[in-house]
Chain A
Amino acid sequence: MGETIKLIGEIFLLIGSFSLMTAAVGLLRMPDVYNRVQTGTKASTLGALMSFVGLAMMSFDHWQETNWVGRFLVLVIFILLTNPVSSHVLMRAAYAMKIPLSKLTSVDKLKEDINNKVLEEPKDE
């Protein structure tokens, strides 16, 4: 039983590391900053989450001595809550800096609404 859980944990750790590596490749390949933030956030959130769950499973057989599992769970919840928030704030800052969108972009409703005065511009406060 303990061996099986450890094996599943190792598979989880490998998948998580691979997912983090995908995030890094996305950071290098994507054409503009918005797509970079997008791929970076998604892949690295799930990657860190799966790695920590895998590590918690691997240290499951001595769970009553020290508090391995609890601390890994705290890390998972923390990353799940804070990572989207911080990248959303970054994306807003990028838009307020007026970093241009890439050539591939097809539609920009936010720009249209700012021009039509539906919404005031996100500006320096």
Chain B
Amino acid sequence: MKFKNIFVAFLVILLGWMLLTWSLELQSILLGVGISAVLSLLLCGSCTLFNEINLTPKAFAYSFWYLIVFLIELVKANIDVTRRVLSPSMPINPGIVKVETTLKSKMARLILANSITLTPGTFTIEINDDALYVHWIDVESDDVEGATKAIVSKFEKLLEVMYG
């Protein structure tokens, strides 16, 4: 468990190093491996950040699929915002609704909240146990089930596979 944390942190730091130096010479890569090992041991020796992540091929495939779904939603969000802002009458109907999630892992909840923030018209305000309070710019249904179905369910299916 502890080894997995350190290993994932090592991969993340090494990726950052490779992007910043942008060279494939042996010297620079060896230096990066050394620095990433020291940093991940120092920073993540006792952290529990990546405890629940699944390191199976299926989880990786789902991560890529999640990224694609997320980018499409981001573009849709932007078209939606542009339409609302530039139309003269400003068709908004804001409100704060409550949705529920079945995810248990902290990291998965963080990713879910960030994704809700960047998808069309919704914005996470507060998290309490299983309930997320979401500011919705155009409220379609104000009961818990309808809002959950409209906002959360499309991400939840994918995140359940990634974080078990």
Contact = CB atoms under 8 A, between A and B. Distances in A.
B133 A110 contact: yes
Contacts of A57: none
A102 interface: yes
A34 to B, nearest CB: 5
A88 B117 contact: yes
Interface string A37-59: 11101110111010000000000
Interface of B: 16, 18-23, 74-75, 77-78, 81-82, 84-86, 90, 92-98, 113-114, 117-118, 121, 123-126, 128, 131, 133, 135, 137, 139, 142
Interface size class of A (residues with CB under 8 A): 35 or more
A63 to B, nearest CB: 8
Contacts of A35: 92, 94, 137
B125 A92 contact: yes
A70 B74 contact: no
A108 B95 contact: yes
Interface string A81-109: 10011011001100100000110111111
